[in-house]
């Protein structure tokens, strides 16, 4: 993506809710070289921040409820979480959690868009979000999968003011024209029970090697490595607990 740091309206963080925190730490350490540090405070609930070097790149956290699926979520930076939450509701979204303070690090909201895809709003205080984008092992793209792309375009441009660039088969989201993600229509190839969702993509040096590493480490392949015309090589994987995520190599743009 064309963003290098968190900016208002752009993706700032990716967070995994998992049923086995220690297994997730081992898997992503083997895959991306992450070093996870767990917040020792009891009220933090096992929240663990993954690092590459000194840079925070993502979070791993136990699921809040047993019925909650193991899944990745994406957070978008906002200047005022309360105002953005109100805009989301006025545009047809649903607020599930918050607005709520997280210690002294920021204020967050969990939102469902009108089609049911969950995402988070993040108002930074002492923590702005990921300290590294686009480098191997860090967040480099986010993608919305939805069955109602027209309504999604209206919703997200209303809430965030995103710019939109469309090609024949793909729409790209941007902040001031700086693309950071895209949108795919969920067609008949997706099982009917698959919910709309945001999918994070992490940069890697070699998509095929990472795919093999994921399988050997107990994960799986949801979309085999393939090369996007005039774009990067990508794959969609799942970790051993079933959480889906994407990987890409090279410049991610279409």
Same domain, 61 and 24: yes
Mean per-residue pLDDT, 73-86: 97
Mean pLDDT of the chain: 92
Same domain, 157 and 204: yes
**3 lies in some domain:** no
Among 124, 148, 171, the domain-final residue is 124
Same domain, 98 and 151: no
Mean per-residue pLDDT, 193-222: 96
pLDDT at position 61 is 93
Residue among 159, 232, 181 nearest 74 (CA): 181
Q: Indicate the number of domains in the chain.
A: 2
Range of the domain at 79: 11-124
pLDDT at position 96 is 94
Q: Which residue has 């729409």 as its token pair?
A: 171
Residue 38 pLDDT more than 90? no
Among 73, 100, 124, the domain-final residue is 124
pLDDT at position 250 is 62
Residue 24 pLDDT more than 50? yes
- Enter the pTM of the model: 0.93
Same domain, 120 and 178: no
The set of residues, in sequence order, having a beta carbon less than 8 Å from that of 118 and lying 6+ positions away, is 73, 96, 110, 111, 112, 197, 198
**210 lies in some domain:** yes
Residue 41 pLDDT more than 80? no
Same domain, 15 and 99: yes
pLDDT at position 145 is 97
**97 lies in some domain:** yes
**132 lies in some domain:** no
Q: Which residue has 């930074």 as its token pair?
A: 124
For residue 146, the domain's CATH number is: 3.10.180.10
**198 lies in some domain:** yes
Mean per-residue pLDDT, 56-68: 86
Among 124, 153, 180, the domain-final residue is 124
Q: Which of 151-155, 178-182, 246-250 has the lowest mean pLDDT?
A: 246-250
Same domain, 23 and 68: yes
């Amino acid at each position: 993506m064309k963003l290098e740091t968190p900016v208002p309206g752009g993706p700032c963080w990716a967070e995994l809710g998992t049923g086995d925190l220690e297994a997730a730490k081992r898997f992503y350490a083997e895959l991306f070289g992450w070093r996870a540090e767990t917040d020792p405070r009891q009220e933090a609930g096992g929240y663990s921040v993954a690092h590459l070097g000194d840079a925070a790149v993502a979070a791993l956290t136990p699921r809040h409820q047993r019925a909650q699926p193991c899944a990745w979520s994406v957070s978008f930076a906002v200047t005022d979480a309360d105002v953005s939450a109100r805009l989301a509701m006025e545009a047809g979204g649903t607020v599930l959690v918050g607005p709520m303070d997280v210690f002294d690090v920021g204020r967050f909201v969990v939102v469902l868009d009108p089609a049911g895809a969950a995402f988070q709003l993040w108002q930074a205080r002492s923590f702005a979000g990921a300290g590294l984008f686009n480098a191997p092992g860090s967040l480099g793209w986010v993608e919305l999968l939805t069955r109602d792309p027209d309504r999604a375009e209206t919703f997200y441009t209303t809430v965030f003011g995103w710019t939109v660039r469309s090609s024949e088969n793909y729409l790209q989201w941007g902040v001031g024209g700086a693309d950071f993600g895209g949108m795919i229509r969920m067609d008949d190839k997706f099982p009917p029970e698959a919910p709309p969702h945001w999918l994070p993509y992490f940069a890697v040096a070699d998509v095929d090697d990472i795919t093999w590493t994921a399988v050997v480490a107990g994960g799986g392949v949801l979309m085999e490595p393939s090369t996007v015309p005039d774009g990067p090589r990508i794959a969609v994987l799942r970790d051993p607990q079933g959480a889906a995520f994407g990987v890409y190599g090279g410049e991610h743009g279409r």
